[in-house]
Structure 1
Amino acid sequence: MNASEKDKRFPHILYSCYSHKSGEGEQFIADHIFGFIISGESEMYLNGKNYLFKAGDFRFLRRNQLTKYVKLPPVGGEYKSISISMDQNTLRSISEENNVTVDKPYTGENALLLKPNRLFTNYMESLSPYLNGTTEISKGLTSLKVKEAILILLETNPELKNILFDFTEPGKIDLEAYMNEHYRFNVDLNRFAYLTGRSLAGFKRDFDKIFHISPNRWLQQKRLDDAYFLIKEKGLRSSDVYLEVGFKDFSHFSFAFKKAFGISPSRLA
């Protein structure tokens, strides 16, 4: 995440503030997130779909997802948002205390636009003294605010219980389809293995059966092919492309590109 100096982070609570298009990147959503866009817009690409959230929108993001995002400030203003991540320990505690469990598998969207209501508004306003001022949120108070967020979601959107209290790990899914959709994400093989419902050894074994090449070599080849197309056919600069296609380091990208195509990316256009 390209965080500006105005970001304010507490355990499970993040206040973001950008005055320019610096909030661009990718993220692994490890825990469910309840969020609010104060000003500006947020574009997200998640699980093969594009989502746009605007000022005043309340949103819910399901855990165990990879996303690419752009945070766009309004003209002459700042992008501002609040995100509350709901950890599994807190959710398990609420499930036991209130005897709330899943009654059917959830099959809906992984990013939800929630209908606004007064409970949401009051909750976000209650965080303002901590996020806009110098007051710090203690660990105990943070825990209470996360619990409050979960209980408000259950009160206003009871159907969310089938997401919130589903504690199962990702099941085994179509590896070929997933990798072709997510290869531009710069995550390690352990993460890809987890998200496709496999051990690392099982992931590598299944990958070899499908693609007949090692995961690392396949990922690099796919990313370099995309980079070549974007530079040669779309006229993009190599310095703008390497992050987009999944490389973390420009010098490594340039070296790999020249080795694969016999020419440096900066000389291709």
Structure 2
Amino acid sequence: MTDPKPDRHSSPIAYSCYYARNREGEQFASEHVFSYQISGTLTINNGEMEYVFRAGDYRFTRRNQLIKFVKQPPADGVFKSISIYLTQATLRSFAMEHGYAADHAQSQQAEPVIALKGGSLVKGFMESLLPYSEDDQLIDDELQSLKVREAIMILLRSSPVMKDILFDFSEPGKIDLEAFMHKNFHFNVQMNRFAYLTGRSLATFKRDFEHIFHTSPSRWLQQRRLQEAHYLIKEKGRTASDVYLEIGFEDLSHFSFAFKKMYGVSPSRLAG
């Protein structure tokens, strides 16, 4: 998936380099991200679609997305990518300066992850960032700002819909909570993220949730994840170590304990 977002004191330009055979993870993409896959393969899944990016590919990930990812280095090689994080503050400033306004309806129709065409302009821009990232040189704030603005201008040239995506500053509206949770229960994010993405305050989310499901969010999430695990292990022949991250658990031992408590048998015994 996209690389973890740097904190507000670090650079908006992030270089990712992994030697591990398969690095799996998930995150909440809170900002738009413009990325270049230097080497290796990145697989992104948002719960509905799977996107695969290989060396030489460019991608744009929209903000407010729950996504899972797998970073796969090439044979005897290293996974490398470089990303530019486009914050709301930066985009608001750019929109005001240049008089841009978004069509919210058009923005909502766009894909959550967009494969971008390369071309000499995009390729040249990404390659201009490599000396700073690969040589571990620090980019001063002024140069960072120029590079981020250049990235915005390149994106605007890449596709007409980018204007509507980049400058749509609306927050998630109130949506069907039940449908959203059944779709996204396997994402291991904090409760306030679920609340935000369903257009609710945390207190309203918990109140609405209990009204719909007649239990607390944390209890429902654990039960729903364990039900999915039971299905995958018993019906699909998967193993506990293969599924616990996929369904939203952080720790294999905690998953095994919770599974045995709910079903009276360990995941390994069920598989056997």
TM-score normalized with structure 1 length = 0.91
* Matches of 1:132 and 1:10, distance apart in 2: 17
Per-residue CA deviation, residues 127-174 of structure 1 (Å, 9 max, x unaligned), is 111111131122332222112111211133242010101111111112
* Matches of 1:10 and 1:143, distance apart in 2: 13
> What is residue 67 of structure 1 aligned with on the other side?
67
C-alpha contact (below 8 Å) 2:104/2:168 kept by paired residues: no
Task: Give the residue type in structure 2 aligned to 1:41.
Answer: T
> What is residue 41 of structure 2 aligned with on the other side?
41
1:8-23 matches, within 5 Å, as: 11-23=11-23
* Matches of 2:102 and 2:246, distance apart in 1: 38
* Matches of 1:20 and 1:209, distance apart in 2: 44
Q: Residue 47 and residue 250 in structure 1: after superposition, are their counterparts in 2 closer, same or farther (change >3 A)?
A: closer
Q: Which moved more, 1:166-175 or 1:222-231?
A: 222-231
The SS at the match of 1:243 is coil
> What is residue 171 of structure 1 aligned with on the other side?
173
Seq. identity, %? 57
> What is residue 113 of structure 1 aligned with on the other side?
115
Task: Give the residue type in structure 1 aligned to 2:81.
Answer: S
Task: Give the residue type in structure 1 aligned to 2:209.
Answer: F
Per-residue CA deviation, residues 7-41 of structure 1 (Å, 9 max, x unaligned), is xx952222122334332111111100101111222
* Runs of 5+ unmatched residues, structure 2: 4-8
TM-score normalized with structure 2 length = 0.90
Q: Which moved more, 1:107-116 or 1:244-253?
A: 244-253
Which residue of the other structure, out of 206, 210, 223, is the alignment partner of 1:208?
210
> What is residue 6 of structure 2 aligned with on the other side?
none
1:117-128 matches, within 5 Å, as: 117-128=119-130
Task: Give the residue type in structure 2 aligned to 1:133.
Answer: D
* Runs of 5+ unmatched residues, structure 1: 4-8
> What is residue 139 of structure 1 aligned with on the other side?
141
The SS at the match of 2:244 is helix
> What is residue 256 of structure 1 aligned with on the other side?
258
The SS at the match of 2:236 is coil
* Matches of 2:267 and 2:187, distance apart in 1: 20
C-alpha contact (below 8 Å) 1:170/1:196 kept by paired residues: yes
Task: Give the residue type in structure 2 aligned to 1:235.
Answer: G
Task: Give the residue type in structure 2 aligned to 1:40.
Answer: G
C-alpha contact (below 8 Å) 2:103/2:168 kept by paired residues: no
| 1:47, distance to aligned residue in structure 2 (A) | 4.6
| 1:236, distance to aligned residue in structure 2 (A) | 2.8
Task: Give the residue type in structure 2 aligned to 1:62.
Answer: R
* Matches of 2:90 and 2:104, distance apart in 1: 21
* Matches of 1:23 and 1:14, distance apart in 2: 17
Task: Give the residue type in structure 1 aligned to 2:110.
Answer: G
* Matches of 1:155 and 1:233, distance apart in 2: 48
C-alpha contact (below 8 Å) 1:10/1:137 kept by paired residues: no
Per-residue CA deviation, residues 62-87 of structure 1 (Å, 9 max, x unaligned), is 00000011122223322221111100
Q: Structure 1 residue runs of 4+, over 3 Å off?
A: none
CA RMSD of aligned residues (A): 1.9
Task: Give the residue type in structure 1 aligned to 2:214.
Answer: H
> What is residue 6 of structure 1 aligned with on the other side?
none
The SS at the match of 1:35 is strand
